[in-house]
Amino acid sequence: MSNSTSYAPNGAGPGWRGTTILCVRKDGKFAIGGDGQVSIGDTVVKGNARKVRRLYNDQVVAGFAGATADALSLFERLEAKLEQHSGRLARSCVELAKDWRTDRNLRRLEAMLIVGDAEDTFLITGAGDVLEPENGVAAIGSGGNFALSAARALLDYETDAETIVRKAMAIAAEICVYTNNALTVEVIES
């Protein structure tokens, strides 16, 4: 596996479009950004959706790609796991992934999450994956590869994680028709 990661949700193919989520961890900062575009087919139905949220007393930030209702359900479940495990992010992510993989109803959810706190970053999939990017850069969604590529290029030239996220997301929005520049960016400092 490469040092940074980009994924599309379960079953992603020509019909799955509409978001870009990017996270960067650098010099004691974790920044995650998501665009605001929601598309159904080739139609933009909303331009200012909020796909990045703070959880667990603002100590964890999560972004989603995929079906909105499915992602909101996963946010709720992750929040419950964080409460159950006293905010331990790694344990909560693993428990969520186990439930997602084994529960018959959860297996049908079509979304992915990138989550992070002051110390850890994880990408969680419905296939049971809980992945930690080696260099702190990960992206998901239809514009994920564009944002990931731009962020990797900027890592050596920019010192601030939030600046990298904003610049890389702007580049992705210029290339991917399913990504816009209505960003939500959240930052956690360690």
**Residues 118-167 pLDDT 10s:** 999 999 988 889 999 978 999 999 999 999 999 999 999 999 999 999 99
Distance CA 176, CA 158 (A): 23
- What average pLDDT does the chain have? 88
- Which residue among the candidates 19, 20, 121, 179 is catalytic per the annotation? 19
pLDDT for position 1? 33
Task: Return the pLDDT at 109.
Answer: 75
Lowest mean pLDDT among 40-44, 52-56, 102-106: 102-106
pLDDT of the residue at 5: 52
End-to-end CA distance of the chain: 27
DSSP 38: E
Distance CA 189, CA 187 (A): 7
Distance CA 70, CA 120 (A): 24
Cα distances (Å, whole numbers) of residue 39 to 20, 26, 164, 168, 172: 12, 31, 25, 21, 16
Quote the pLDDT of residue 6.
52
The helix (H) or strand (E) run that includes residue 161 is: helix 161-175
Average pLDDT over residues 27-39: 94
What pLDDT sits at residue 92?
Answer: 97
Q: State yes or no: pLDDT of 182 exceeds 90.
A: yes
Query: How many CB atoms lie under 10 A from the CB of residue 157?
Result: 9
Place of tokens 């596996």: 1
* 108: containing domain: 5-189
Contact indicator for 114, 140 with CB cutoff of 8 Å: yes
| CATH at 30 | 3.60.20.10
pLDDT, tens only, 44-99: 889 999 999 999 999 999 999 888 888 888 899 999 999 999 999 999 999 999 98
- The number of folded domains in the chain is 1
CB 16 within 8 A of CB 142: yes
**Residues near 127 by beta carbon (within 8 Å), at least 6 away in sequence:** 10, 101
State yes or no: pLDDT of 34 exceeds 50.
yes
Does residue 65 contact residue 51 with C-beta atoms inside 8 Å?
yes
**Contact indicator for 110, 70 with CB cutoff of 8 Å:** yes
What's the CA gap between 85 and 184, in Å, rounded? 28
Specify whether the CB–CB gap between 155 and 26 falls below 8 A: yes
Residue 19 annotated in active site: yes
